[in-house]
C-alpha cells in the first residue's frame, strides 16, 4: 500500500506542468504569484507546502521580488493553477 502511495506521488510530480518567466507580481499574504511568460500572464496560487528554492537554498515567498526570473512547477486543479515549486537561479 505504501508503495502505491509513493508511486502516485511520483507520477503526480512527473505530470506537473512547468513554466519559466519573470515574476510580475507576488503577494505573500494571500499566497499568489503572477508570472510574465513572453508577454503573457500566468496567475498562480501558491500551495502552502510549495518548495521555494533561491540559488540552491530554501526560501519563502517573501524572498521573491518582481522581475525575478523563476521556474514554476504547477498543477491544474479545476479552474485553479497551483504552484507546487518555485525555483529562482
The secondary structure of 3-60 as a DSSP string is HHHHHHHHHHHHH-EEEEEEEEEEEGGGTEEEEEETTEEEEEEEEEEEEEEETTEE--
Which CATH number does the domain 2-88 belong to among 2.60.120.10, 2.40.50.320, 2.60.40.10, 2.40.50.140?
2.40.50.320
Domain boundaries, given as residue ranges, for the chain: 2-88
Q: Which residues of the chain have pLDDT under 70?
A: 1-15
What global pTM score does this model have?
0.81
User: What pLDDT, on a 0 to 100 scale, did the predictor assign at position 1?
Assistant: 55
Which burial class, exposed, middle or buried, applies to 70 when counting CB atoms under 10 A from its CB (0-12, 13-18, 19+)? buried
Query: pLDDT (tens digit, 9 = 90+) per residue, 39-60?
Result: 999 999 999 999 999 999 999 9
First and final C-alpha spacing in the chain: 37
User: What pLDDT, on a 0 to 100 scale, did the predictor assign at position 16?
Assistant: 77
Amino acid at each position: 500500500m505504501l508503495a502505491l502511495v509513493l508511486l502516485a506521488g511520483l507520477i503526480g510530480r512527473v505530470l506537473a506542468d512547468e513554466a519559466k518567466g519573470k515574476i510580475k507580481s507576488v503577494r505573500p499574504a494571500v499566497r499568489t504569484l503572477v508570472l510574465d511568460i513572453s508577454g503573457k500572464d500566468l496567475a498562480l496560487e501558491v500551495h502552502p507546502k510549495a518548495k521555494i528554492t533561491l540559488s540552491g537554498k530554501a526560501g519563502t515567498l517573501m524572498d521573491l521580488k518582481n522581475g525575478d526570473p523563476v521556474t514554476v512547477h504547477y498543477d491544474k486543479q479545476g479552474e485553479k493553477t497551483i504552484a507546487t515549486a518555485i525555483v529562482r537561479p
